[in-house]
Amino acid sequence: MDISHKTLVDANSLRGGNAQKRQIREYVVEILRRINFELKTAHQEGRQELITELPIIFNIANLSEISAQREVWSNVIECLKLKNYRVAINPRKDNCLLKIAWFSKEDEAAILHQKNIIAMHTQTF
């Protein structure tokens, strides 16, 4: 059967192109810059973790909202994990929360142990 190559669109032309990748990268960089500022502020305030909100609406050409969320959010999480943060995400219908902790579980266990020692030896006199 002789069918013209122009009859059916090539799958490669439907995959995410450079424009999409550039837009995704721009969103990720913008979010990471904001998170970086928030992390520094939280650390200066003596906190051990940060809960921040991620955008839920992205304007990326030829990409559904759910796909855009997946692309951007997963990239943000991967970047944070590469910097040794502990990360948890809570996507909801109307917002998306991201919890970022910089203390390890071992650090938190040591702090709890110290608090317990002080509590066990605290007396009123």
* pLDDT for position 48: 92
Instruction: Indicate the DSSP class of residue 44.
Output: H
Distance CA 13, CA 40 (A): 42
* pLDDT for position 104: 84
Which pLDDT tens digits describe the chain residue by residue (125 residues)? 666 667 777 777 666 578 899 999 999 999 999 999 999 999 999 999 999 999 999 999 889 999 999 999 999 999 999 999 999 999 998 999 999 999 888 988 999 999 999 999 999 99
Whether the model pTM is above 0.85: no
